[in-house]
Amino acid sequence: MAKVFQMEVAGAYTQAQFDNVAHSLLFADAIQPVYTQTEGGTNKKGIIVTSGVESTATSAASYELLADDSQSETAIDIATGKFVDGNLIAVLATTAEAQEDMRNFVTYLATSGDIHLHIGLCNTTQSQDYTPGIVANNRVIKMMTPSQVQSLGL
């Protein structure tokens, strides 16, 4: 097993809050979407994440640790800032941006608004002549190159 946590899918995370959970999302063993309703009737869309990759999500909004075994998780602190075709990506963006700039992705709908969580692969490359919408709109993002992923041996 690994850590199991639940978090609300919200489009309003800061980059720092997203960085706390992004590696766990990119290397999750399982992500299960859930829909919850509080006693007061507030509806929320969330995900339950099982991941052997360390998350330091203490500052992420609506994060709740559900289970943790005695094995230590792998801690990762690498990323790339270059939007290149084939990079592994987790991003909070509109569905239109994801459809334009990503492939083989899964979308987890946010509780409200049109900014959702998308996890998949970059399908375009940023250049002097082309800027992907995800980059142009300064979306909260975490990317890794295929070689970075391979070097982890996960």
Provide mean pLDDT across the span 54-66: 64
Q: Which two tokens stand for residue 47?
A: 């995900």
Of the pLDDT bands very low, low, confident and very high (cuts 50, 70, 90), residue 14 is confident
The amino acid that residue 31 corresponds to is: I
Answer whether 0.75 is exceeded by the pTM: yes
In angstroms, the CA 16 to CA 61 distance is 11
Over residues 86-140, the pLDDT tens digits come to 999 999 999 999 999 999 999 999 988 899 999 999 999 999 999 999 999 999 9
CB-CB contact of 124 with 85 (8 Å): yes
